[in-house]
Amino acid sequence: MNQAATAVDTQCINTIRTLAMDAVQKANSGHPGTPMGLAPVGYTLWSRFLRFHPEHPDWPNRDRFVLSVGHASMLLYSLLHLAGVVEIDAHGKRSGQPAISLDDIKQFRQMGSKTPGHPEYRMTTGVETTTGPLGQGCANSVGMAMAERWLGQRFNRDGQVLFDYDVYTLCGDGDMMEGISSEAASLAGHLKLDNLCWIYDNNTISIEGHTELAFSEDVSKRFQAYGWHTLHVTDANDLQALSAALATFKTNTGAPTLIVVDSVIGYGSPHKHNTAAAHGEPLGEEEIRLTKAAYGWPQDASFLVPDAARTVLRDALLERAEPLYAQWKQALAALDPQLADELRRMRAGEMPEQWQAQLPSFAADAKGIASRASGGEVLNAFAQHIPWLLGGSADLSPSTKTNLTFDGAGRFSAEDYSGRNLHFGIREHAMGAIANGMALSYLRPYTSTFLVFSDYMKPPIRLAAIMELPVVFVFTHDSIGVGEDGPTHQPIEHLTQLRATPGLLTLRPGDANETLELWKVALAQTHRPSCMVLSRQALPTLDRTKYASARGAAKGAYVLAGADAPNVLLLATGSEVSLAVAAYEQLKSEGIAAQVVSMPSWELFEDQDATYRDSVLPPAVKARVVVEQAGPLGWDRYVGQTGAKVVMNSFGASAPLPKLQEKFGFTVEHVVKLAKQQIQHNLAE
């Protein structure tokens, strides 16, 4: 479909442009320029190519449209409005209301509206992912494309096709400059994802000015080196050229496609490359009047949607999608019942009935096992019963122990998209965002690397929390237990950073049985991401006939050992739990009443009611010692201003672990000494 623009096409495009101008002006905030420049691109894609059913926007085999240039949100909102997309409510039902009404557009960037400044998943039907931080949408789209390949291998049977969607991503100069896009593009080229198309808005403008200030590479050549097909459209207003490029993508095989589109930001404005349009400011009333005049638009009309433009986009989408949707429903009806149940559960966020069957158990063992190793055993046990649980590492699976080793697990590759072991390469940032894209496509992904490299993954972890995606981020080598690798690899402040993220579960088990219980918690989540924080070194497996059941870990903190009326509380997480237990036993032998609280998750503990929290941390017991090989920030809430902290107040050092423990005070003698001081201090008060 390569025809040039008709008068109706032009009217629809100008409707998108003027809605963007008017919404930004009314809000007195936002970015009008990019929606104006990209309106022909968005309209051409949606009207002529996108497989999307306005009445069934949650159709699993719809094409995905990702607006990585999230600041151009008014482009997406205008498209959703003109497409007449029906809202899907929080219960997955069609509400009968429009996803985006004209009143919603008038409430652009206002409190409680469905048109926030950047598109937000779950808030607005038709928004496939939360975008805004540049590059994240690009990497999400790679995850969506990978998910389609896996889903097709899993569900396309006997000539029936349930999954063959394409993923289209609008990206800009900022996306191209961010490193995450390069990481994601490199992996996409390696995996030969020919269902992926990035459309690059080459408008040569960034906030500081012309992109030549800091950006001069040949983007097409860069992507060719990644193994992508590349195409070039020299004028974003040339619908015929845009259509030809998109049609070429549809026929390209063996590689993803980049379409470079030259555009003018704020197109139609009397001042091309308008400063306000480029910098995220309203155009101003007079500039809008002049721009509308240039479009042949009524200058005094605001939020005008002409009758002729009202149904064009919706009709085009319905005409294309209706027969495909009917075929899809027939294929679903013919699907093997077991696979049909799988797909239903995946869409609903449910686990298989027997997902906790045949789990390992860990007997008491003083020598013990590293929680990364027990975590690997547990992960494999779960994965055998959860077919859509898949993931991998940033080139560290031999260390993180996250390989799926059972028969049939396979390796996801360009030669076999059915595998469940993913190889992200040393691309931590993209790995996290790709996993988010997979979670947005019904899969349950996990990632893994060393805890210190959570620094490289903070943006996608944060966005997983914002989007309420139950991704599991596995982090091993979680403390100075890394030993000889030294301070560059010994995480100190990282637990604090993770705990500071709203909506994120940070889980740091103290032994193998706590690891099992916390993996259960992570996989049971439907709207919350989790970080599994695991040790490199062996942790003693505690004798649960002597100490409390590890099931208490699911409440975030529990009394592991001790007297009913303690004089001092010893709080610990992860590898330090066994140290706290040893200190407790020493105090007990001296007739001192102590209690050990294992506290693997602050977030889970805070979810409990006050009665339970007070039973674990009795307010009357002021003598408290926390033991954790990480920074101190935040522990005051649990040990008070006068509590003792055996923590890390500096970076680590390169040395064998026993030497590090001695240097930084992680010894039984030091913990016992502080516990006694706490008791004396509180008796004196």
Alpha helices in 219-364 (DSSP H): 219-226, 239-251, 275-279, 285-295, 307-310, 312-333, 337-348
Cβ–Cβ under 8 Å, residues 498 and 506: yes
CA distances from 172 to 235, 332, 548, 591 (A): 15, 37, 55, 68
With residue 668 as reference, give the H or E element that holds it: helix 668-684
The DSSP string of 334-365 is: TS-HHHHHHHHHHHHTPPPTTTTTT------E
CA distances from 399 to 138, 150, 477, 478, 592 (A): 29, 26, 9, 12, 41
Cβ–Cβ under 8 Å, residues 111 and 85: no
Residue 626, classed as helix, strand or coil, is strand
Q: Which of 272, 23, 281, 38 is nearest to 171 (CA)?
A: 38
Helical pair 33-48 and 73-82, crossing angle rounded to 10 deg: 40
Instruction: Reply yes or no on whether 428 is catalytic.
Output: yes
Q: Which of 388, 373, 499 is nearest to 438 (CA)?
A: 388
Spell out the residues 6+ positions from residue 93 whose beta carbon is closer than 8 angstroms to its own. none
The DSSP string of 443-463 is: -EEEEEEEGGGGGGGHHHHHH
Exactly one of 428, 517, 576, 628 is catalytic; name it.
428
Q: Which of 320, 254, 338, 259 is nearest to 62 (CA)?
A: 320
**Angle 530-534-539 (CA atoms, 0-180°, nearest 5)?**
140
Measured distance CA(26)–CA(638) in Å, rounded:
47
Task: Look up residue 560 and give its amino acid.
Answer: L
Helical pair 312-333 and 73-82, crossing angle rounded to 10 deg: 80
Q: Which of 394, 392, 415 is nearest to 404 (CA)?
A: 392
Residue 11, classed as helix, strand or coil, is helix
The DSSP string of 84-127 is: TPEEE-TTS-EEEEESS-HHHHHTTT-TT-S--SS--TTTSTT-
Residue 296, classed as helix, strand or coil, is coil
Reduced DSSP (H G I as helix, E B as strand, rest coil) percent helix, strand, coil of the chain, to 5: 45, 15, 40
The dihedral sign for the CA sequence 652, 656, 660, 666:
positive
CA distances from 45 to 8, 21, 36, 105, 163 (A): 16, 21, 15, 21, 20
Structure tokens of 396? 């560290």
- Any idea how long the chain is? 685
| Catalytic residue ranges | 428
